[in-house]
Structure 1
Amino acid sequence: MSHALLWPWLVGLGLTLGLEALLRPPVAPVWRRPLATLGVHLGTWSLLFALVVLVVQRPWFALTVIAALQLVVVQSSNTKWQTLREPFLCQDFEYFLDALRHPRLYVPFFGIGLALGAIAAGALAIGGFLILEPSAVGRFGPLAFLATTLAAAGLSALPLGLGLARLPPCSLAPQTDLQRLGLFSALWAYGRLARQPVSLPQQTPFAVADGHRAAREALPHVVAVQSESFFDPRDWCPAIRPELLAHYDAMVGAAIAHGPLSVPAWGANTVRTEAAFLTGLDDQALGIHRFNPYHQLAKRSAPSLATSLRALGYRTVCVHPYPASFYARDRVMPRLGFDDFIDIRAFDAADYCGQYIGDLAVADTVGKLLADHDNSPLFIFVITMENHGPLAMDTLAKGKADEWLKPKHAPLPSECDELASYLAHLRNADRMTDRLRQALSRSPREGILCWYGDHVPIMPAAYRHFGLPEGTTSYTLWSTRQRRGATRDHETLSASHLGYRLWQAVLEAATRATDQDVKTPHHQEQA
């Protein structure tokens, strides 16, 4: 039976190597890669071929299945590069399941037509091969079939094992590693690293922070908002009217601190910025787990902003108007120190604004929490959703791209409707800042608002028209009582430092309130 496997195996080996030429940006040719990568590719292809043949019993059909799956990965990588400036990683395989659970978040970026075409082509291929290619079991008998395919699977382990043992180390710069190692070896290298548990440094910012104490009555309410795709687009696109973010500008003008925020994500991968803010851990500390920190944080606890605030006496609440199970937040947030998680179940159909729950509805939920006077300081961490993509499918402001442009500016092309939708939702984010500031100001406690963007939005048509933005977002720290001089309030931060900067602001507010309580009786006696 071995001759029946040989030709499909040879053709498939050449085909799988050739399909890598479709990757964009291109990868290095096979002859320019380390020799170990050829062993990994040879062993991986041989193992996959043997296992699929064992299942479908048809060698040419097995070749087609594997090549089709590789083509899906290649196309996914190219699409991801175009939208997120990052190639496909081993960690991204789970998103195929997420695409089934949450198709609106993923399928439009891949292309609905392409997805439907791939499904139709797959169905035709399955039907065709089942009819046209006879079963190898029927042709050669079950014993010969099993012996040959199992032997092929066993032999494939030799080049695979030797290749993996000699792969050069990864740089954890995905595009560099993919270009240098090729698709199969890069997936293997990142997958093997991802199996290692995260090694948290002994002196994380919030491990050090846990020794602080403060009187509960002196602690301010704290609201931190991770605003979906928030950045200030007026520098990127000078045609945008300055009053688009009027409330945000007012907050910045009275801020404790504000400035550009360096974030570890572009266009998506919210949890990278989220984890950096909450834990204070940067890419170097997380290593391979920087690409999805919640894989590990769902399994183990880590010192965080929430654990430190809870140790001071705070009630800690996470508000996210989407299913709590997404990104395993229902398991992660308790481990990061949150007492309660308010997800999409707390909202109803009237709260939608476009494709998702609106920012103003979320602001009202936060306001109700702040108005519930139980004499405990609150830390509310908000993860908004309103401005989440795909913006091209959002019809909130379709055909209204010019409404937020300066007078006399040339009309935008019709394909920039995604920008119109983004600006309409950004206007609601601006209103949310005002509503939250009002809610905090009504409390007898001091209130601190931390506002930042998780990443820039995905707007490929607008970026082709105006150019790519820098990729930084914006942050602001604002207090109901504290102000700083203009020479000190503007500073550039990373997402991994912003949470600790907020922690410092909380301690400063508590110290100031305690000092005020001490001074007040003294002044009354002097009077």
Structure 2
Amino acid sequence: MSAGIAHTLSAAMATLLLTSLFELLLAPRPSPLWQRPAAVIGVHAATALLHFTLWLLIVQRPWFAVVIAGSLQMVIVQVNNTKSASLREPFLCQDFEYFVDAVKHPRLYIPFFGIGLTIAASSAGALAIAAGFWLEPSLFARPDAPWSLLLILALSAASALTLWLALPRLPACTLEPNRDLVELGLYPYLWAYGRLLRQPLAAGGNAAAFPETTTPPAKITLPHLVLVQSESFFDPRRWYPGIRPEILREFDTLSEQALAAGRLEVPAWGANTVRTECAVLTGLTPEALGGHRFNPYHQLARMPVRNLAGALKALGYRTVCVHPYPASFYLRDRVYPQLGFDDFIDIRAFDESDRDGQYTGDLALAGKVREMLATGPTQPLFVFLISMENHGPLHLETPDARTAADWLEGELPEGHSDLAVYLRHLHNGDKMLARLKELLKAADRPGMLAFYGDHVPIMPGVYADHGEPDGLTNYFIWQTDAEPSDKVRKTLSADKLGATLYQTIIERR
């Protein structure tokens, strides 16, 4: 056997061994490879070999290809474990696009991975590439290069054939990522979720959410509607009793006066705002979304669905979204026209003076609503506010000692600085609610203010000491001319909130 072929086969076997060992570092840890079904083992082995041969064809050095393939797997392992620790969910096939987003929007992602670790990993990668080319000669510079190339192509073809035969035989996913990762292992799990993305979203999954009405309300009676999706909002006072109750004084008042209020069951923890956002706007349940539940906007950018904005537009509303971040993030610039929004006001409409902390402040959003109402609209206005002020990473901000003194009983415990930062922004959101209420009360027609949190915040240090909250957020639906007897108090799922809001409007006479 020639040296080149021997090196290639040895490196291929090393790749299979390393990829199996590296899986043991995942959280949650997959079941042992030998305990999985034959199709799962086949997909794992074929993917590892195909990954190896791809890099071997590029770099022409067998052991360097092993290092590259193993290093890239370790990147996924590290990202997976960071995500599991912060968001209680492992890495998904859908998350590969976030590597691009991390370059475009590094503040949203890299601090959770670790800035120091990111720099160290990038530097180590650059050194490894230089060392790999310097230390190992090219496989194709050997006399047996044609036979080595033939072996690489044979391994690639065998791996591709194995994938073609084994992928359709993978066990069905439960769409509970923690469970699927354990049962399938990393590569088959990613393949299985990727295959689900190829299935189009079934039409009509929310047909009953926003029904057309044969006797719509007269346009003159329709209220202005401001719907606030508050970043990382939940009421933390029951979870952390040391927080002073007056921090959310306006929220309490509005909830008490609201037509409907309560806790909100959201399909996200710590991040993935778009899941809650889609549920509220479209009424689509996770079951209806299937494999697209983790990032539904890829499908909604290509197909129309019944939704709150479109239904309100049909009643005569002017529909506007205000979000102080680039409109292209999460494909909102493509999705929102499909949903029926007339205008999208994004970060370009704000400046540095509007910032509070790392992002545009909540009070600046209220200022945009004031501007729209001041123009004297001749039609009812629907404004969907997506806030950013409370977006993490909270640990990048320095806590204000006065904030802790204002809103906490006793001293701030060590390691709880994220909580002090969070409470400051939480109170700013409360002040935004006060301004929105006054704006709607002074408007040219009745007004309605709806509000909800998209998910709980990421505060791992606080949760480690104090325990995690239950993951529910809060909502209310308030209007300027509500009758006290109309009040409803109950826990609601996010996919029912938009439909409830729409039903409240069309029942006005």
**Smaller-chain TM-score range?**
over 0.9
Residues 398, 200 of structure 1: alpha-carbon distance in 2 compared, 3 angstrom cutoff: farther
SS at match of 1:496: helix
| Mapped contact 2:28–2:181 kept (Cα < 8 A) | no
| Mapped contact 1:200–1:286 kept (Cα < 8 A) | no
Across the aligned residues of Structure 1 and Structure 2, the Cα RMSD in angstroms comes to 1.5
Determine which of 210, 216, 221 is the counterpart of 1:218: 221
Task: String of CA shifts for 1:39-98, please: whole Å, max 9, x gaps.
Answer: 001110111111111111111111111111110101111110110000000000000110
Determine which of 292, 295, 298 is the counterpart of 2:298: 295
Determine which of 320, 323, 328 is the counterpart of 1:320: 323
Matches within 5 A, 1:93-492: 93-140=96-143, 143-201=146-204, 204-206=207-209, 208-209=211-212, 213-395=216-398, 397=400, 400-406=403-409, 409=410, 411-485=411-485, 488-492=487-491
Task: String of CA shifts for 1:152-194, please: whole Å, max 9, x gaps.
Answer: 2111123222321211100000000000000001000000111
Which stretches in structure 1 are left out of the alignment for 5+ residues? 512-527
Residues 63, 399 of structure 1: alpha-carbon distance in 2 compared, 3 angstrom cutoff: farther
Partner of 1:53: 56
| Mapped contact 2:210–2:502 kept (Cα < 8 A) | no
SS at match of 2:247: helix
Residues 153, 140 of structure 1: alpha-carbon distance in 2 compared, 3 angstrom cutoff: farther
What one-letter code is carried by the residue in structure 1 that aligns with 2:502? W
1:76 and 1:366 map into 2 onto residues whose CA distance is: 39
Q: TM-score normalised to the size of structure 1?
A: 0.94
Partner of 1:521: none
Offset, 1:37: 1.0
Offset, 1:3: 1.9
1:432 and 1:99 map into 2 onto residues whose CA distance is: 30
Partner of 2:502: 503
Partner of 1:68: 71
What one-letter code is carried by the residue in structure 1 that aligns with 2:482? Q
2:348 and 2:237 map into 1 onto residues whose CA distance is: 35
Offset, 1:211: 5.1
Task: String of CA shifts for 1:436-471, please: whole Å, max 9, x gaps.
Answer: 000100113110110000000000011112110010
1:323 and 1:437 map into 2 onto residues whose CA distance is: 27
| Mapped contact 2:265–2:494 kept (Cα < 8 A) | yes
Q: TM-score normalised to the size of structure 2?
A: 0.97
Residues 364, 396 of structure 1: alpha-carbon distance in 2 compared, 3 angstrom cutoff: farther
| Mapped contact 1:210–1:311 kept (Cα < 8 A) | no
1:391 and 1:265 map into 2 onto residues whose CA distance is: 18
2:36 and 2:78 map into 1 onto residues whose CA distance is: 22
Partner of 2:28: 25
Residues 225, 82 of structure 1: alpha-carbon distance in 2 compared, 3 angstrom cutoff: same
What one-letter code is carried by the residue in structure 2 that aligns with 1:508? E
Percent of aligned positions with the same letter in both sequences? 54
2:101 and 2:298 map into 1 onto residues whose CA distance is: 14
SS at match of 1:395: coil
Offset, 1:139: 1.4
1:47 and 1:309 map into 2 onto residues whose CA distance is: 51
SS at match of 2:264: strand
1:209 and 1:285 map into 2 onto residues whose CA distance is: 21
Offset, 1:201: 2.4
Which stretches in structure 2 are left out of the alignment for 5+ residues? none
1:205 and 1:59 map into 2 onto residues whose CA distance is: 58
Residues 211, 344 of structure 1: alpha-carbon distance in 2 compared, 3 angstrom cutoff: farther
Partner of 1:520: none
SS at match of 2:233: coil
| Mapped contact 1:272–1:290 kept (Cα < 8 A) | yes
Residues 337, 220 of structure 1: alpha-carbon distance in 2 compared, 3 angstrom cutoff: same
What one-letter code is carried by the residue in structure 1 that aligns with 2:314? A
What one-letter code is carried by the residue in structure 2 that aligns with 1:72? V
Task: String of CA shifts for 1:364-389, please: whole Å, max 9, x gaps.
Answer: 11121122213110010010000000
SS at match of 1:485: helix
| Mapped contact 1:398–1:417 kept (Cα < 8 A) | no
| Runs of 4 or more consecutive aligned structure 1 residues displaced over 4 Å after TM superposition | none
2:217 and 2:297 map into 1 onto residues whose CA distance is: 31
Residues 19, 249 of structure 1: alpha-carbon distance in 2 compared, 3 angstrom cutoff: same
Q: How many residues align?
A: 506
SS at match of 1:88: coil
What one-letter code is carried by the residue in structure 2 that aligns with 1:507? I
Larger mean CA deviation between 260-269 and 20-29 belongs to 20-29
SS at match of 1:443: coil
